[in-house]
Amino acid sequence: MRPFANRRIVLGVTGGIASYKAAWLARLLSGAGAEVDVVMTAAAQEFIGAVTFEALTGEPVHTALIAAGHALGHIALARSAHAIVVAPATADFMARAAQGRADDLLAACLLAADAPVLLVPAMNDRMWAHRQTVRNTTHLRGLGYHVLDPEEGPLAAGEGSGPGRMPEPETILAHVGRLLDADGLLRGRRVLVTAGPTREPVDPVRFLSNRSSGKMGVAVAAAAWRRGADVTLIAGPLALPFPVGPTVITIETADDMRAAVSQHLASADVFVMAAAPADFRPAAAATQKIKKDAAPDAIPLVPTDDILVETRGLRGPSAIVVGFALETEAALAGGRSKLRRKALDMVVVNDASEPGAGFAGDTNRVSFLAGDGEVEAMPLLPKMDVADAILDRVEGKMRGR
């Protein structure tokens, strides 16, 4: 799984109650294809056993600064790491890291490492708010360390709720992915993505929509953010969770989506229109629920605006614009028509009737159409892999401009 395959991650675990979450993080990293070296402080071993991490990673756990036969173990660990993640990072560890201490194996690894470092604080809310912790955090960021802000939520028993809770392992995994993958052409670029369906009201309780789940657009937004982009995701009504990182703007109707795209398109370096806005809406929505015994014989429909066409004049002069063509027949012909009519750099075509490539699934089989007329057919892939394939080709077009 990109970008974790064949990457080595040092996972540092310090002594806090949130260390139980580190076990799941180790599992997620290993499951994504990373090789995980766990380094535990003495305090961490009071909360969770080393054997747990050995079972989850298949690797021995490192605990001693100086061990027989491994006097330079901290140097070897640090040099082999593609990233170092400390989760949880206690107030004590952050203070020692800010001072450049090397009094245990984990702290020494930070000093010997060239790899990016992600610190994930977890502590009591008053400790997090203390002036010394604030100063240490600022200093660590100034040194180039990446420090996540803790989340708000329930703290240790009897401590109520507040900022200080360690983010969930899935959130941390996303940030580790960004550390590993944010060195390409999308780093620092502004990417605008749309996802999902729209809902066009018939009356206050009914609407016209389609079967789009939004999974493809969400995957594109997540992959672009992982590559270091500043991502804005404009999403219709979705049942799935939004990805970590992108700024999310939720909308309801096709008119809402057009307005949001119009507001953000001029500043976008890349625009991926993966949403499936409705092509038609009722000519006039009823102001009250339509009763069954008073239902009209027909509901007149009118076309909605074509967002890619209507906003064409707002595109930046060097913006790369990608559209989608979901068809049920003559898919390539439909894609070629969209490529020309909407002045796109690339169209992603898929056939909704093909098994595994329709709505709501986790896979997709697409073909890419570019301005040169070339057709590139892809095999059936997970949607995240399709998203990366799209962005690979976007980066290829960026190199040519």
- The pLDDT tens digits for 342-386 are 999 999 999 888 888 777 789 999 999 998 778 999 999 999 999
Beta-carbon contacts of 268 under 8 Å, excluding residues fewer than 6 positions away, are 190, 191, 192, 232, 315, 316, 319
350 is a catalytic site residue = no
| Residues 269, 224 contacting (CB under 8 angstroms) | no
CATH fold group of domain 8-181: Rossmann fold (3.40.50)
Q: What pairing do the DSSP bridges indicate for beta strands 320-327 and 270-273? A: parallel
Average pLDDT of every residue of the chain: 93
Which position among 6, 124, 210, 364 bears the catalytic label? 210
Q: Where in the chain is the domain with CATH 3.40.50.1950?
A: 8-181
- The pLDDT tens digits for 19-44 are 999 999 999 999 999 999 999 999 99
What's the rounded Cα separation, in Å, for the pair 370 and 392? Answer: 13
pTM of the predicted model, to two decimals?
Answer: 0.93
- The pLDDT tens digits for 114-146 are 999 999 999 999 999 999 999 999 999 999 999
Predicted pLDDT of residue 161: 77
How far is residue 358 CA from its own chain's centroid?
Answer: 22
Predicted pLDDT of residue 182: 85
| Residues 119, 139 contacting (CB under 8 angstroms) | no
Q: Which residues pair with 381 in a beta bridge?
A: 364
Predicted pLDDT of residue 183: 86
Q: Where in the chain is the domain with CATH 3.40.50.10300?
A: 190-399
Task: Check residue 78 and give left, alpha or beta (phi > 0: left; psi -120 to 50: alpha).
Answer: alpha
Is the per-residue pLDDT at 185 higher than 70? yes
Exposure string over 170-196, b if 16+ CB within 10 A, otherwise e: ebbbbbbbbbbbbeebbeebbbbbbbb
Q: What CATH homologous superfamily does 190-399 map to?
A: CoaB-like (3.40.50.10300)
| Residues 121, 89 contacting (CB under 8 angstroms) | yes
Lowest mean per-residue pLDDT among 73-87, 190-204, 229-243: 73-87
Place of tokens 């200093």: 139
Q: Which has more pLDDT, 11 or 356?
A: 11
344: nearest Cα among 397, 396, 387: 397
3-state SS, residue 78: helix
- The pLDDT confidence band at residue 160, using thresholds 50, 70 and 90, is confident
Predicted pLDDT of residue 236: 96
- The pLDDT confidence band at residue 48, using thresholds 50, 70 and 90, is very high
